[in-house]
Structure formats: structure tokens, C-alpha cells
Structure 1
Amino acid sequence: MTKFQPPGAPPAATAGPGADEAGTVPLTERQLALLRRHRAHPHDASSNQVFAIDLRGPLDDTELRSALARLIARHPLLSARLAPGPDGPDGPPRLHLDPARTPRLERRTATGHPPTEDEAGQELDLEHTGVLRTVLIAHGPAHHTLLLVMHRLVADGECAGLLLADLLDAYEHGENPAAAPRAFIAHTTAPAPRAIPDNPAAANSPGHPHEPGHPHETSHPAAPQTLPVTPRQHALLLDALAHHGTGRYVEQLFWHWHGPLDTGRFTTAWQSVFDRETVLRAAFDWNHEPRVVLHDQVTADVVHHRAGTLDWDDLLHQDRLRGFDLRAPGLLRATLLDDTRPTGDPRATDDTPTGDPRATGDTERATSTRVLITFHHALLDHWSVSVLLQEFYRAYLADGLLPGSERRPDIRDYAHWLARQDTAPARAFWSAATGPATPTTRPALPGPATGQTGWGRAQARLSRAESGRLRRWAAARAATESSMLQAVWALLLYRTGGAHGPAPVGFGVSVSGRGIALDAVERLPGLLMNALPVIVRIDPDHSMPRLLAQLRDQALDMAAYEWVSTAQIHEWSGRGADEKLLDSLIVFENRPRTSPALDAALAAHDIRISPPQTLGLHSAFPITLLASPGTDGSLLLTAVHDRTRISDTDAGRLVGLCARLLRELPSTHDESTTIADIVAALPEADLPRMTDDTAVGLP
């Protein structure tokens, strides 16, 4: 079995077979092929990887040189130069490693012509300079660009990001860390390395240009880049594979598209987004240890159904159960269903291909179309899809072609950021936060088997006036609606647990995962959303404001470690697999919405888009409570539940109790009202029942 490297370790290619800190190492077959190509096309810069790092602020020249030296000391292969092998000049060469050699830092002054392209086009002298060039370009006294030009013999797109992370670490934590300008840190941790090819057509190709005399080596595309899965993804994959065909972790959201819809442009726009976004071209491989595989090209999956050809509820059910092949890229798809049958070209049929002029002509006359986006949670969360939708709308308004935009971070940046995190403080925090006591986790009394299957949804809504009153009441106590929902859920857990004195309760809270120190992370599409355990001690003699303060403080403490997975936290808590920390999840939606400018641009084309509606995640949790603020100021509560664990009736009872408490709490003006007083108003006859199950997995 292949031995995989821990997160943050340099890729296997960086170590090299038999590489010592000094000496020589033989070239692999792939490296020999790359070398032959380099010699056949010495000025073809596609043999190089060029990465540009923006340095803002005062530059410490000595510390930068020291950082480069420390980087090479950590990754000796970067010091490699070509040297004759044991068979002499006529035999295959080797790489000679000399990590003690001081790296040469070339200097340039920026001119009108972009210097990065010039430097990328220069041939690397592998025998003398080696496999790495470092170039410092001065734009001014407080603005520089550091270029790292690496030959593909030692660096590809995957490992280079980790090398750059190590460079930052070496610069930031060198002998004089105080000298590191803050702007350097801010500008290099956020954007991923940016490859600058001399031949864009070759760079965009999945393979290399043909090499005469070596057809076998150039007839296949280069192997896709891979990334380690995050701990969160690892747990999701295991659970998803164990429940294949059930729709678990398949998410859906939909909205109404009012006005003309050009199906061909719609499809082209999504394809443009797929071409731009790395995460949409990702898949998984788990032959050994799970990895994320990044593909070069994926065809967007868009299907259009005419009105009357398919029932909406049937479509939702079938589409969820269809699921995804997690080994294949394209873990997001779009389905269109016309609400009214258009009266267009009679030649068009239900099987008319997407993009056919007859289909396009018909759909343009549809008065309303439901748009369904289905995606797998192992790669995307709702925040991510909202970001992608903004890109899609921009592309649609630009005739299907996504306009150019500035670089923003993607899943590679997040993987590199995550690999650099020190888990020791997180372990210490979560070990203390989870505590040794076993909390009450079920928001219902024990009940008999339900006799039902599948997943259900129960809803209750707070009106605009009720939601506003709740928001004002919470704000007066330095709390939010989300905190109120957590407090109410904790009360239900306490009440159904049958406790009579102080006792802990536990539930999960969804966080966006975008509070981390990664520049522009709010625009990063990927799986950052996380479910964190909240274990709070309920004292019946305490007041509601005191409970809210307790939850608020706990949320502030957790914020620094929201990137840690539930499975890691469970392990650090010291509990066994059958000892639960949480049996339910609260999700308070806070994803980005379309901007007024974008709405206006769509309106100029007679298009009006309704707010997307989430259909709820089918996860390992028996019940998830989803809170969705409405555009009208209302608050919609949705309980998505496993019907084998909790019946439709009991789920409706549970979400109804939540809404009832949220409505009534603002009327409790007397701060002396205790938790015991509140839960006493919930008679046992009104409480829901829930079937026990000790085999619930952790997401």
C-alpha cells in the first residue's frame, strides 16, 4: 500500500528517490522525458513553472535571502543541478544536490513591458544555474515582485504551492521575524501561485507538445494534479460511500427564473464558470488514501425539461437519488423545468438537444423556469454555490463568456493554508471544550420505530413582525437570532433529557468556515462550511440572558478553530465511536446574495430572479434545523429529518416548539424568569419522540 504524506509535508516528487541532503539522485523516467523535451525545445518556457509573489512594504533584503536559503535547506531538490551520471556524458545524467549553496537572487527594474513574461521565457541553465531561478523585480522602494522560476523536473502545480508556503514560513519565522512586513504576509498567503506560461496555448493544453522520436511519452495527457483531502472531506467521503445511492450529502437549491431564458447561453455561461473554477473540475480518488484530483477540462451538465413533461417533486427526488460518481469531475449540475409550456417552434420536441435553435427559440418564450442546482457537499457548500452563481450571472449577461477578473483563492489555496495550521492549540481547546461528561444530544423523548423511510421536511415561519421583535430582543442582550435559536434548541435538549439539575447538552452548529486568515476567503468556492459541537451546561436556575451570554462566549472562543473537523474533535475528546457529541445540527443561512447592481443588470434584460431556496442536506444527523431569513423579513424554520428516526408528525411538533419559544421569549421582559420556568411550560405531551440509534456516523 502506498504510504501517503501527512498534511503539510513536501510532495513525494520534492524528496526524490534516494535523495540525501547532499549528493546525487537518478532521474525518474518522467524526469528523463521532461529533460529530453527541454533539450529539444530549449526556449519553450512551458517546461518551467513561474510564480509571482507581490511584496508590499519595506523589503528586508538580508532576511529574504535567508528565507530562500532556509527554503532550499528544507527542500534540497531545489538546489539541484544536472551532472553526469555513472555512465559518463553519453549516459543519463543525475541531479546533484547542494543545499548549502547560497541561492542567487537576480535583480531587475520594472519597465513598461510586464517583466514576468520576459523572465518566464528565459531558458534555465540546468547544468550551472540549476532547476531554480529567483528574480526580484523592483517597481518602487516599497513594491517588489519575487519570481520563482522552477523547472518541471522538480516542481509541478501541486508541490509548488507547498514550497511557496514554506518560503513564507521561512521569511515570517526567520531569525528576525519582526522584520517581515505585514504586507508581504497578506499578499502571499491569499493568492495561489500563478503560472505564467510563455505559450498560453500549450499551457492550456492537457498534454505537452509532440516530441519527435518519443510518441509514447507525448500521446497521453499529463497526470492531473492532486491535493490531499481535508479531514472534513475524509469523513464525508467515508460516510457517503457507506450510504451510496441514498442521496446523502447531495444538496439541492432552486429558484424561479422569470423572463426570457436562452438555454444555449445558459449552458455556455455555466461552461465558462467550469473552465474558470478549479473546484468544478475536481473529483476524488481513494485507491489508497483519498485525494482530490484536479482535471483540466469538464463539460458542464445542463438539462432542460419542458413544461408538463416531469413532475417537480419527482424531479427533485430522482435527481437527489441519482447522486454523483465521486471519481468523475463535475460534481455540480443544473436542471431547468419550464413552468408553462411555450408556444414556439412546433418542430421542437422534449428530446431536442440543449443549444438547438428550436429549443432556444421555445425557451425564450417561457414565462417562468425553475432552475435546480444539485451538488455534492464533499466539494461545495451553499456559500460556494452562491459565489459561483454570481459568476454564472456575469457570464450569462456577457453572452455566455465569463469576463476576466482578478485572481481569487481556490481550493488549492485552502488546502495549502490548512496544511500549515498547528493542530496542537486546537486539540487543547476542543479537548477542554468537549469535557468528560456525556451530554444530552437528542432533541426528543425516546420513541418507538416510526415505520417510515426516507427524509422528510417540516416547516414553521416567524412573520416579519415576530422576527423583528425577536431580533430586537436579542440585540438588547448582545445576542443574535442565531444565538436565540441555539438557546431554544438547548432548552429542548435539556427538557427531553429529563434532567432536574444542571446538566450538559450537545448539538452541532454550522459555521461558514470563512473566518480564517486567508485573504479574499469569502470569495473562495469549496467546502469550508463546518459543523462544530456546542456543549453547554444548562442550569435551570439561570436566566435566558445568562444562557445567551454563555453561548456567545463559547462562539467567540470557537472562532479561532472553526477549521477543525467534527471527526478530529470527537477523537480529541477521548470518546469512543459510539459516544456521541451531537445528534442534531443547526444551520443559520448567511450566504451571499446577488447584489443590487447585478439584479439591475438582469432586469435590463427583462429577467427577474427569485431568491434561491435550500432543500436541505441529507447528512449523518437524524435532524437538521435550517433557519432561512426571508427577503420580506420573515424567518423560515425547516427541519430536515431522517424519517426512520423521527416521524413527520414529531418533526413538525419539534419545529413548531422552536417557533413557539422564539415567538414567546421576547414577551419575557422579566429578567428573573429562569430556564426552569420556561421549560416547565413545555408539557411532555407536546414533546416529540425519536427512535434511538447508536450507529449514527460523524460527518
Structure 2
Amino acid sequence: MFHSLLDDGSGVYVEQLRLPLRGKLDTTAFAAAWQAVADTHAVFRTAVVVGGGDDPYQIEVDRIDLPVEQHDLRHRGADADAVRAAERARGFDLARPPLARVALLRLDDDEWEAVLTHHHLLLDGWSAGMVLDDLLSAYASLHAGTTPRLAARPPFRAYAEWLRDHPPAGAPDHWRRLLAGFAEPTPLPGAQAVEGEHGTRALRRALPSDVADAIRVFARGHRVTVGTCVHGAWAAALARSANVDDVVYGATVSARPPEIAGSESIVGLLINTLPVRVRVRDDALVAEWLAGVQDQLATVVEVGGADPAEPRRWSAVAAGRPLFDSIVAFENFPSSVPADPVGGVVVGEPETVDSSNYPLALAAAASLADEGPFDLVLHHDTSVIDGATAAAVLDHVVDILTALPDAATLADLPRPEPSALSNRRTFVAPRRNERSPVRDGASAEAEAVLARIWATCSVSTSSAPTTASSIWVATRSPACASSPGRRPRDCASLLATSSSSARWRVSLRRQPRPCPRCRPPPLRRRRPRRPGRSTCCPSSGGCSSETWPCPPTSTWRSRSPRRTMPTPAPSAPRSRR
């Protein structure tokens, strides 16, 4: 919800549920069946409003009309993708219900596709299956000329009230122990800041039946779940690509408390994404290592109702930086496809299309049936991870899962090809729609960025510099020159784009040795249009000349260190040192 409020036109967390249908579809009864679903489940009648204290509230209205638009695309099959994309691009106004709509595409005389476009605030994957069950039940009744009688389910309000009255008691202690000493987010493989529009692409790999069955047998033999194996494979892939042995990523877990009677049948959003920290050491035994991962996942489920913003308070990650940039979701849902036709219509396998604000999101979809293949889907932000790198990451995860049953230690798991994953030493921008809060004249974000540059310099002094000019001096100090891996002519450069998402990047580059007598390049701010009024931070009264301003609304320039001093007159004496 936070990311959608920042940019409701970005398509973040706008999802689609696509249901193929074949046969003589009664379109009037089908539209009425969707309305019956909306009348039964209160989440379809909710909206989000901001209260007087700037706190968002999810409200419920008595009735809404769920839009069902029909598109005749016969002999125009290529237009189906355009309609689907246009439905997602429309987005939603969170303050105006319903946060869902239906498009009924007629692809041929007897071929249809129902596309439910909704905000992720309404449904999780488990709830979507129950909605489809109720839809088909209502359609069968209406097609037969009877009034639909849908199963009574506990309202979503019951979950919201329980969550309000029962915050997880052990969550702070868990996050404090879990994130102690964690200060640097796990680098993404091949991540690089790219200007332009954000977009999400999905890559799919079907794990063969023999590999999937081998993983199931291995999991049963070592008392772990298949989902734990997927989480372990992701943690190992991140660690190998980043060349680190300590990784943190997000795990999407179910938050259906058993204390609520019938919680498994509540329709709504009952999931959460919380951090998981995994140490990946080559000498660790695979079975014991996976058992540790599973224990941690079980603890995350116990605190599944925790505030997702709480964990980062217990970490040492600098302000303005995300705690993690990738997530894993293991989806194990019962099939919603009936074996027999419904009202004379054959129902196909539904497909879910979603996106998030994370650069990488791995989803593993497996049936509750303990047999057959299962799919791995990797969603990647095209402005951070290109398609070739995302494909290499997904292939690496498949290779690890394939080798997992026969591996004794983590050293036996395959490593990525060096040519496939290039881990560039760049700091990726804040995620889509993620903007750091402005504090003290926008100096909070400046301090965080400068601290990252200072950490790059590896200079041991009593205090870190607080301005870009002082860092320029520090990188030329004897301490920096004698630091491991540093040269006297290396300098740190801070680059800020003028995009609305304030992308930052830090790099080390080699430059010619400047004149010994030249001063460090000061920063200059463009003159305000009116005297006494800053163009940087109107709300804070302006920035001082020593702090880095807000990137989206101000422009700063740095004089080049190549500046040369005028040649002194012949009569002027030169002093020697």
C-alpha cells in the first residue's frame, strides 16, 4: 500500500488472474456471478483513505458494482496482450472502490478468457483460489436458473481486529538477535542503475518431474519441506553471485493465525514479507544447514503479523537503504480447476500475473499433490536487472536445486558462470517508488550517501567526513594512500541523477594527480530565483552550503580537480619543502 500511495500509476502491486474458458459461455450469468462474489466478500468493497493523522485506513462500503467489460477479439488474437497490458496500466485509485475489475475477452467463437485485475491489497494467492471456487459455483447456479448460495466464510474484518489486538510479542527480540551486526544489504547479481521507465518481466522455468521428485524424496528423508529447499537454493545463489557468506532476503509467509476459527477460509490479504538471514559456508552440511533455514522460517511464520517496517530498526543498515532487495515466495495452493465442465464450460488452468517493488522476486508454484513438476518464476525489474542476467540467476537456482539431493556440503553445490553474472560494484538506486524520508533539511539522505562513500575509502580516522569536499581531501590523504587496494590518485565521486526516484551511485575512478597547491573542489548551488529562498528544500528553509541537497529538486556542480594554478611571475620567489 505504501508504494502504491507514492505512485498509483506505476502498476506496482497491480495483479491479474487470468482464467481460460472454452464452450458456450453465458456472458450475462457470468457477469452476475462476479457480482455475487463481490457482494459476498467484503474485501471487494473496501478502499484506503488517509485519516487526519496521515495514517491510512481500509474502509468498507455497503455495496459496489464490479465492472465487467467485454472485448470481442475474434480474429484479432494479437490484441489480447494489449488489452491485458492496458488493464494493468490503468491502475487504481485506492480511495475509490472497487479496487478490482473484470475484462472478458472473446478470443474465438468458443474460446474466452476472464481477466480479473485487482490490487494486491485485496487478495493473496490462497484467497484467489477460493474466489475462483465461489465464482464457478455462482455461475453454475445462475446458468441453471437458481439463486447462488455461496459458502459462508469468516470476514476479513475478523483478521484485522485480531491483528490489532494481538501484536507478535516476541518479534522485537527475534529481529534484534537475527539482524545483530548486519550492516550491508546483500548485493544483487549484475545489478546496475539504468535510467528510464521501470517495468517488470517474468521468466519461467519448469523443474522436470524427475528433479522435482528427487527433491521431494530428499526433503522427506531429512525432515524439511520442499519450500525450505527452494529458500536454501535462493540463499546459496545470492551468496555465490555476491561472493559473500551472509545474506538477507525477504520471505513471503502466510499470516493466517490458528487462533481465529476458520482463518484458512478468510478471503483477503493474509501474508507478510519479512527478512530471513542465512549464513552460507562451504563446510556446512547440507542437511543440517537446511534444518537451520527451516527453523528460521518457522520463527518468521510465528511473527508473521509483525510490522514489516520494524525489522530494519534492529539492523545497522544505513538510513535510506533497503534491508533486502529480493524476496522468495513458495506457493503451495490446492488446484481450483474442476474436472468436469461448469455450466457447459470447460475451465482451464488459471494464471497469475503480478509485480512488486523488489528488483528480484522468486516464486515457486507447486501443487499440494506430492508428484509432478513445479514451476519457478523469477520477476525482475528491468531497470535494475537485465533479461540476460535474470535468466542466468534463474538457471543457477535450477542447477542448485538439481544438485541439492546429492550434495554433502555446500561446497558441492554449483557456482555461477563468471561470464553469466557480473556483479558490478555499484550501489543500486532505491527501489521503485521507495523514497527516503526527508529530515533536517534533507541532510539525512545526504549523510547516508556520504557514509557509504566514506566506507568505500577505507580510511581509519577519528571521525568520518560530513561533506563531499572533506571526502575529496580524505581520499588524497596519506592514510588513504596507504590503505589496502588504494592508490594516491584514486578519488571517490558521487553521482546523482535528476530523476524523480533520486538514483545514487558511488564509484572509484582514477584521475590525474592534481596540483599540490590547489584546494579541494567546493560544491556550488545554483542561485535561487528569489533572494533568501532555497530551491532545494522549501519545507526545511533551505540547505546549508555544507550538506548535499535533495537530488530530485536541486542541481549541484563540482569543479573539476584538473584545475591548474596560474604560473607565478619570474620574480616571485618559490619556496621549497
Q: TM-score normalised to the size of structure 2?
A: 0.69
Aligned partner of residue 662 in structure 1, secondary structure: helix
Aligned partner of residue 517 in structure 1, secondary structure: coil
Match of residue 619, structure 1, among 341, 346, 356: 356
- 2:254 corresponds to 1:512: yes
What is the distance in 2 between the residues matched to 1:421 and 1:561? Answer: 11
What is the distance in 2 between the residues matched to 1:439 and 1:304? Answer: 50
Structure 2 partner of 1:376 = 119
Q: Quick one: structure 1 residues 527 and 453, their matched pair in 2 at CA, closer, same or farther if it must change by over 3 Å?
A: closer
Q: CA deviation at 1:251?
A: 0.8
Q: Quick one: structure 1 residues 637 and 546, their matched pair in 2 at CA, closer, same or farther if it must change by over 3 Å?
A: same
What per-residue deviation string (whole Å, max 9, x for no partner) do you get for residues 477-534 of structure 1? 21222111111111111112223xxx32111111122244211111111111111211
- 2:18 corresponds to 1:263: no
Structure 1 partner of 2:140 = 397
Structure 2 partner of 1:247 = 11
Match for 1:607: what amino acid?
Answer: V
Q: How many residue pairs end up in the alignment?
A: 425
Match of residue 187, structure 2, among 442, 458, 469: 442
What per-residue deviation string (whole Å, max 9, x for no partner) do you get for residues 213-271 of structure 1? xxxxxxxxxxxxxxxxxxxxxxx2x2112122111110112121122211100111111
What per-residue deviation string (whole Å, max 9, x for no partner) do you get for residues 329-385 of structure 1? 111222111221x3xxxxxxxxxxxxxxxxxxxxxxxx2211211110123222222
What is the distance in 2 between the residues matched to 1:604 and 1:291? Answer: 38
Match of residue 131, structure 2, among 379, 388, 401: 388
Q: CA deviation at 1:583?
A: 0.8
Structure 2 partner of 1:683 = 417
Q: Quick one: structure 1 residues 393 and 318, their matched pair in 2 at CA, closer, same or farther if it must change by over 3 Å?
A: same
Q: Quick one: structure 1 residues 452 and 408, their matched pair in 2 at CA, closer, same or farther if it must change by over 3 Å?
A: closer
The answer as to whether partners of 1:320 and 1:374 remain within 8 angstroms in 2 is yes
- 2:104 corresponds to 1:336: yes
Structure 2 partner of 1:273 = 37
The answer as to whether partners of 1:438 and 1:504 remain within 8 angstroms in 2 is no
Aligned partner of residue 310 in structure 2, secondary structure: helix
Aligned partner of residue 235 in structure 2, secondary structure: helix
Q: Quick one: structure 1 residues 457 and 538, their matched pair in 2 at CA, closer, same or farther if it must change by over 3 Å?
A: same
Q: Quick one: structure 1 residues 664 and 537, their matched pair in 2 at CA, closer, same or farther if it must change by over 3 Å?
A: closer
Structure 2 partner of 1:299 = 65
What is the distance in 2 between the residues matched to 1:684 and 1:446? Answer: 15
What is the distance in 2 between the residues matched to 1:469 and 1:315? Answer: 41
Match for 1:249: what amino acid?
Answer: Y
Aligned partner of residue 252 in structure 2, secondary structure: strand
- 2:252 corresponds to 1:486: no
The answer as to whether partners of 2:134 and 2:150 remain within 8 angstroms in 1 is no
Aligned partner of residue 275 in structure 1, secondary structure: helix
Aligned partner of residue 507 in structure 1, secondary structure: strand
What is the distance in 2 between the residues matched to 1:382 and 1:301? Answer: 22
Aligned partner of residue 288 in structure 2, secondary structure: helix
What is the distance in 1 between the residues matched to 2:147 and 2:187? Answer: 47
Structure 2 partner of 1:411 = 156
> Mind listing any 5+ residue stretches in structure 1 that lack a counterpart?
1-235, 343-366
Q: Quick one: structure 1 residues 448 and 286, their matched pair in 2 at CA, closer, same or farther if it must change by over 3 Å?
A: closer
Structure 2 partner of 1:606 = 344
What is the distance in 1 between the residues matched to 2:277 and 2:239? Answer: 12
* Residue correspondence of structure 1 range 198-213 to structure 2 within 5 A: none
Q: CA deviation at 1:422?
A: 3.7
The answer as to whether partners of 2:184 and 2:317 remain within 8 angstroms in 1 is no
Q: CA deviation at 1:544?
A: 1.6
The answer as to whether partners of 2:191 and 2:384 remain within 8 angstroms in 1 is no
Match for 1:534: what amino acid?
Answer: V
Match for 1:375: what amino acid?
Answer: H
What is the distance in 1 between the residues matched to 2:315 and 2:406? Answer: 39
The answer as to whether partners of 1:255 and 1:609 remain within 8 angstroms in 2 is yes
Match for 1:603: what amino acid?
Answer: P
* Residue correspondence of structure 1 range 114-513 to structure 2 within 5 A: 236=1, 238-288=2-52, 289-306=55-72, 307-309=74-76, 311-340=79-108, 342=109, 367-399=110-142, 403-404=148-149, 407-438=152-183, 440-447=185-192, 449=194, 453-499=198-244, 503-513=245-255
The answer as to whether partners of 2:22 and 2:111 remain within 8 angstroms in 1 is yes
Match for 1:638: what amino acid?
Answer: V
What is the distance in 2 between the residues matched to 1:579 and 1:374? Answer: 31
What is the distance in 1 between the residues matched to 2:75 and 2:319? Answer: 48
Aligned partner of residue 618 in structure 1, secondary structure: coil
What is the distance in 2 between the residues matched to 1:450 and 1:675? Answer: 37
- 2:390 corresponds to 1:651: yes
- 2:298 corresponds to 1:560: no
The answer as to whether partners of 1:461 and 1:659 remain within 8 angstroms in 2 is no
What per-residue deviation string (whole Å, max 9, x for no partner) do you get for residues 252-298 of structure 1? 12121122211100111111111111111111111532111211110
The answer as to whether partners of 1:588 and 1:628 remain within 8 angstroms in 2 is yes
What per-residue deviation string (whole Å, max 9, x for no partner) do you get for residues 384-418 of structure 1? 22211111111111116764456421121011101
Match of residue 405, structure 2, among 638, 643, 666: 666
What is the distance in 2 between the residues matched to 1:574 and 1:424? Answer: 22
Match for 2:350: what amino acid?
Answer: P
Q: CA deviation at 1:592?
A: 3.6
Q: CA deviation at 1:559?
A: 2.2
What is the distance in 2 between the residues matched to 1:431 and 1:592? Answer: 36
Structure 2 partner of 1:54 = none
The answer as to whether partners of 1:578 and 1:694 remain within 8 angstroms in 2 is no
Q: CA deviation at 1:425?
A: 2.2
Aligned partner of residue 428 in structure 1, secondary structure: helix
Q: Quick one: structure 1 residues 421 and 453, their matched pair in 2 at CA, closer, same or farther if it must change by over 3 Å?
A: closer
What is the distance in 1 between the residues matched to 2:217 and 2:344? Answer: 37
Match for 2:95: what amino acid?
Answer: R
Whose helix proportion is higher, 1 or 2?
A: 1
The answer as to whether partners of 1:464 and 1:633 remain within 8 angstroms in 2 is yes
Match for 2:304: what amino acid?
Answer: E
Q: Quick one: structure 1 residues 476 and 430, their matched pair in 2 at CA, closer, same or farther if it must change by over 3 Å?
A: same
What is the distance in 2 between the residues matched to 1:437 and 1:431? Answer: 10
Q: Once superposed, what is the RMSD of the aligned Cα atoms?
A: 2.5
Q: CA deviation at 1:667?
A: 3.6
Structure 1 partner of 2:329 = 587
Aligned partner of residue 383 in structure 2, secondary structure: coil
Aligned partner of residue 117 in structure 2, secondary structure: strand
What is the distance in 1 between the residues matched to 2:422 and 2:114? Answer: 35
Q: Quick one: structure 1 residues 698 and 560, their matched pair in 2 at CA, closer, same or farther if it must change by over 3 Å?
A: farther
What is the distance in 2 between the residues matched to 1:429 and 1:442? Answer: 24
Q: CA deviation at 1:580?
A: 3.1
Aligned partner of residue 565 in structure 1, secondary structure: coil
Q: Quick one: structure 1 residues 573 and 611, their matched pair in 2 at CA, closer, same or farther if it must change by over 3 Å?
A: same
What is the distance in 2 between the residues matched to 1:260 and 1:514? Answer: 38
What per-residue deviation string (whole Å, max 9, x for no partner) do you get for residues 91-113 of structure 1? xxxxxxxxxxxxxxxxxxxxxxx
